[in-house]
A and B are shown apart, each in its own frame.
Chain A
Amino acid sequence: MPKTLDLPGIGERLRQAREAAGLSQAQAAKLMNLHRPTVTEIENETRKVSAGELKQFGEIYHVSVEWLMGETSSVNDKVKLAARKLHGLKERDLETVMRIIDSFRRERGAR
Chain B
Amino acid sequence: MREALDSKMTGQPHPTLGQAAKTALEYRVRNGVALDGPCDVYELIVRQGVELRFMEVKSLEGFYLSDGTAGQINVCAFRPAGLQRFTAAHELGHHVFKHGSTFDPQLDYAERFSSVTAEERVAELFARYLLMPRRAVHKGLVNIGANVKNPQPSDIYRVAAWLGVGYTTLIHQMRWSLELLNQTQLEFLLGAKPQAIKQTLAPSIAKFGRSELWPAHASWNGSHIHVEIGDVITGISGGNEGIVTAVDRACHQASSIGRCVFPLVGGGHVQVSVCRKEFVGFYEYRYLPEPEDA
Stretch at the interface among B20-28, B178-186, B214-222, B281-289: B281-289
Chain B binding surface, main DSSP class: loop
**Chain A interface, number of residues (Cβ within 8 angstroms):** 30
B58 near A90 (CB under 8 angstroms)? yes
Q: How far is the CB of A39 from chain B (nearest CB, A)?
A: 11
Chain A binding surface, main DSSP class: helix
Cα distance A83–B281 in the bound complex, in angstroms: 20
A27 near B103 (CB under 8 angstroms)? no
Chain B positions within 8 Å of A27 at CB level: 285, 288, 290-291, 294
Binary interface encoding of chain B residues 61-103 relative to chain A, with 1 for a CB under 8 A from any of its CBs, else 0: 0010101011010100000000000000000000000000101
Which A8-44 residues have C-beta < 8 A from chain B?
19-24, 26-27, 29-30, 36
A22 near B101 (CB under 8 angstroms)? no
Question: Given the known A-B contacts A78-B5, A88-B105, are A26 and B291 also in contact in the complex, defined by CB atoms under 8 Å?
Answer: yes
A21 near B67 (CB under 8 angstroms)? no
B1 near A86 (CB under 8 angstroms)? yes
Interface residues of chain B, those whose CB is within 8 Å of chain A, are 1, 3, 5, 51, 53-60, 63, 65, 67, 69-70, 72, 74, 101, 103, 105-106, 279-282, 285-286, 288, 290-291, 294
Interface residues of chain A, those whose CB is within 8 Å of chain B, are 19-24, 26-27, 29-30, 36, 62, 78-79, 82-83, 85-90, 93, 96-97, 100-101, 104-105, 108
Q: List the 4 shortest-distance A-B pairs measured between CB atoms, nearest first.
A: A22-B281, A26-B294, A22-B285, A93-B57
